[in-house]
Amino acid sequence: MPELRDTLRSAWRLYRHPRVLVMLFLGFSAGLPYLLVFSTLSAWLADADVDRAAIGYFSWVGILFSIKVFWAPVVDRLKLPLLGRLLGQRRSWMLLAQVGIGLSLAAMALVEPVGHLERFAQLALLVAFCSATQDICIDAYRIDSADESFQGAMAATYILGYRVAMLVAGAGAFYIASYDSWNGAYHAMAWLMGVGVITTLIIREPDTPPRQSFGRQPAQWLETALIAPFRDFFSRYGALALGLLALVAIYRISDITMGVMANPFYLDIGYTKNEIATVAKFFGFFMTILGSAVGGLAVLRWGLGRSMLVGAVGVAATNMLFAVMAAYSPVTPLPILPVLGLPLDPEQVRWGALAWLAAVISADNLFGGFSNVALIAFMSSLTNRNFSATQFAIFSSLMTLPGKFIGGFSGEVVKAAGYPVFFNYAALLGVPAILLTLWWIRRRYPPAAQADRD
């Protein structure tokens, strides 16, 4: 018992440290814009009766999150003229990005998608660019502001803040839209970016040594910032390097592709915005947290190999559950009800459909959270601590880029073949990830070595 009290006391001291607590608010600021240019935006467009193919193409806005590594060195090295002197390197870029997000969301709230789709896309693109830039700043701030002993706790509070923001931008936006309008919802989200702005103005700039600028020895800067991390990775893994990068790139393709059309699907089959907010967003949030916790435990107990495989199989399988649900709308009795001799009262049918939605959402979010934790642990295992920021930025960009690109065609698939075919197609996209995971397991744990361990 004394050991438990000491552990809890140490945890309390760690998590109330100012550097750790501040990541909760920065995580909220980072997580808020993401769904507003992804699934929540898809719901607004579907509600406005925008062509489903166009909705699919809108998901390409999210590619900016996948290519942020290309302008990360600029954010890292270029000092802003006025803000840089007042706030410092990290906080100045962070504040600029946050103000850009807030203003862009406010501008989106003033525009109707129908009739102004091009302008709407430009504003969504600006939100995504500013949001990706903010991610670069916050990651750099976290690494620079505390030593290694605080990084785990800072990452944990950041993820918690990020998930709370996704709940607000998901369920919260749906609730506001159901009682007011989507314009009102986005206007409220713009004001909530004030959380990040206030936090950035309050926090202290981390103490870091002067960084080499673009103007001095640019060749040396290019070597250190860009070339060395790539050379290190390929020298360590040799012939396996391309296979490992391919696994990072395709592991989440099935999950990301399905997510593009999830909200339009719920609306098209008859669920209300309130029902989507309650079941798919609010309830799904807790299932994702549970899946992440189980995933972390699985990596500890099972190791990376089996955890990655379970995550890949689970994500593909849950997409097939959506294909089954696509055949039955909330006003259509499930086929099991007549077999069981249950009454087909419309209200009971509706509750049955909501229960089915909750079950599918639970499975999808559980495996989504599980697989995401396994993938992050896998990418971390590939990273050299001497190049941790750059190499992890490369992996995190790569893990979403193919999925975002392929997801852009999801509306075309739905338009041409319908939702059941689309969800089966999304499930099949998970097969290469399963096969590459099996390949990696065999290379990392050869049968002879496994026999010796047993």
pLDDT score recorded for residue 451: 43
Which of 17-21, 83-87, 383-387 has the lowest average pLDDT?
383-387
Compute CA 326 distance to the chain's CA centroid, rounded to the nearest angstrom.
25
Burial bucket for residue 444 (CB in 10 Å: 0-12, 13-18, 19+): middle
Instruction: Return mean pLDDT, the chain.
Output: 81
Distances (CA, A) of 323 to 38, 80, 252, 327, 422: 21, 50, 18, 7, 8
CB-CB contact of 66 with 287 (8 Å): no
Separation of alpha carbons 175 and 173, rounded Å: 5
Check whether 276 has a pLDDT greater than 50: yes
State the Cα–Cα distance between residues 432 and 430, nearest whole angstrom.
6
Give the angle 424-430-433 at the CA atoms, nearest 5°.
165
Q: Is the dihedral of CA 400, 406, 408, 410 positive or negative?
A: negative
Dig out the tokens for 286 from the structure.
């807790």
d(CA 410, CA 406): 7
> Contact 93/72 with Cβ under 8 angstroms?
no
How far the first Cα of the chain sits from its last, in Å, is 36
Lowest mean pLDDT among 29-43, 101-115, 373-387, 391-405: 373-387
Degrees, nearest 5: CA angle 222-228-234:
140
Least confident window among 355-364, 371-380, 425-434: 371-380
DSSP letters spanning 132-160: HHHHHHHHHHHHHHS-HHHHHHHHHHHHH
d(CA 70, CA 255): 25
**In the prediction, which pLDDT does 369 show?**
83
pLDDT at 193: 96
Q: Which two tokens stand for residue 45?
A: 């467009």
Question: Cα angle at 123 between 75 and 99, to 5 degrees?
Answer: 50
Element (H, E) at 251: none
Reading the block at residue 350, the tokens are: 């509706």
Q: What is the pLDDT of residues 103-139, one digit of tens each?
A: 999 999 999 888 889 999 999 999 999 999 998 888 7
Whole-angstrom Cα distance, residue 284 to residue 277? 9
What is the rounded CA–CA span in Å between residue 399 and residue 248?
5
The conformation of residue 362, written as its DSSP 8-state character, comes to H
Choose among 262, 289, 276: nearest CA to 358. Answer: 276
Range in 214-223, 316-325, 348-357, 361-370 with the lowest mean pLDDT? 214-223
pLDDT classification of 309: cutoffs 50, 70, 90: very high
Residue 201: what pLDDT? 94
Instruction: Please return the burial class of 346, using the count of CB atoms within 10 Å of its CB with bins 0-12, 13-18 and 19+.
Output: exposed
Q: Does 337 have pLDDT greater than 70?
A: no
Per-residue pLDDT of 20-75, as tens digits, reads 788 889 999 999 998 899 888 988 998 888 888 888 888 888 888 888 877 877 78
Whether 393 has a pLDDT exceeding 60, the answer reads: yes
The answer to whether 374 and 307 are in contact (CB under 8 A) is yes
Give yes or no for residue 454 having a pLDDT over 60: no
- pLDDT tens digits, 162-176: 888 988 998 899 889
Q: Among candidates 110, 120, 107, which has minimal Cα distance to 45? A: 120
Which domains, ranges and CATH numbers included, belong to the chain? 15-205 (1.20.1250.20), 224-447 (1.20.1250.20)
Q: Rounded to whole angstroms, what are the CA distances from 439 to 308, 370, 432, 435, 448?
A: 12, 20, 10, 6, 15
Angle, to 10 degrees, between the axis of helix 419-428 and the axis of helix 253-260?
160
Q: What is the pLDDT of residues 176-234, one digit of tens each?
A: 998 889 999 999 999 999 999 999 999 988 876 555 555 556 666 666 667 777 888 89
